[in-house]
Structure formats: C-alpha cells, structure tokens
Amino acid sequence: MLIWFAVMGGYVSQLRARLQHTNNELKEALGRIELIATMDELTGLMNRRTIHEALHLERRRSERTEQPMCVAMVDADHFKAVNDQFGHASGDEVLKGLADAMRSALRETDSVGRYGGEEFLVVLPMTDLGQALVPLERIRCAAAAVRYAMLPAEARVTVSIGVAQSFPDEDIDETVKRADAAVYEAKRGGRNRIVSAGAVKASLPPAPGGGVSRG
C-alpha cells in the first residue's frame, strides 16, 4: 500500500506540474492574442480600433473633469514617393522610424496610434490648443531628424500635423475631422509644419524648416 500511495502521489504531482505548465502557456498565448488585437504589428503603436477607444475614453474624462483636450493627425510627407522610389520595405522602415520619434516626443499621458497608411492619431488629454503645440513641435523636429538605413544619407522624411481642440458640445469624431482638415492645410502650406484648427485665425512665424500656424 505504501508503494502504491507513493506511485500515485508521484503521478498526481506530475499531473499538477503539467497542468501548471499548460496554464502558463495558455496565459502567454492569450497575452499574445491581446497584443495582436490592440497593437499595430508594424509600428508597435496602438491600432486604429484601440486609439479610437482611447480617444473616446479621454473625451469622457475631459467632460467629467471639465479639462481641455486636443486631437492631432500626423501625416508623413511624400510617403508615396518613398514607396515608389525605394520600395515598400523602405516605406515600412520610415513608418517604424516615425513611430519611434512620436513615442519619444510625447508625454506618458498622451496616446498615439496608427490611424491608417502613413497617418497617425495623437490624443493629448488635459491640453489646450496652445499647450498642444509644444509636444507636436517635438514630434515635427524628431521626425525630420530620423535617419533611415534604406534611404540615401541625405534623405529626410518630414511630417505635416493638424491639431484641433475638442469643443464641449462637439462630437469627438468631428474634432478628428477638423484636425484632419488642418493636415491638408499644412500640406498646402508647404508641408513639414503644424496647423491648428482654432476658432481665431492667426499666423505665427514659421520655424526653421517648417512652421506652426493657426487656421
């Protein structure tokens, strides 16, 4: 009987160890699935669905605390030309470089995600339009400073940025549309610049190699 109990005890211990190992593998698999579901595989940023959820979460927080918030769209300049001239692998390298530049330029409280193609959405909580220009200018400068191994040494990929402050009575998706429209103003204005969709029109002197303006 003692031998039988010893054998059964060892068998049960092995079963428990296998079960624990299986549970650990299942947790790891679920973690990978969750990561794939929320992150953009290429850039490591939030994907469109996740950044959209963060946008609506911050809007509800803004309404509850009566704090301002801004939304910015960041678009890579001449990205199609990069793909056409140097190939899609070079384009992927550019997107990764821009993602790294944005991560390094933003605050911990900010959120950034790939919205589609070469366009990124930035959510800036507890930030008014004037304050938003500071981290966005860091993004603009950081993007222009990135060097790419697959592009010529002199190549620079800049970004055009449009930013809008959310109005209290405005649907947040409308705020995104205003920021997106401001991006096109930045493109028309010469690219490598920031345009804010403000209520008051005013022009600011352009920064070296680019600029900031309100429209």
Residues recognised as catalytic: 118
Indicate the SS3 state at residue 174: helix
The number of helices, as runs of H, and strands, as runs of E, in the chain is 6, 7
**Looking only at Cα atoms, what is the longest distance across the chain?**
92
Burial 54-81 (b: 16+ CB within 10 A, else e): bbeebbeebeeeeebbbbbbbbbbebee
Q: Which residues are bridge partners to 22 per DSSP? A: none
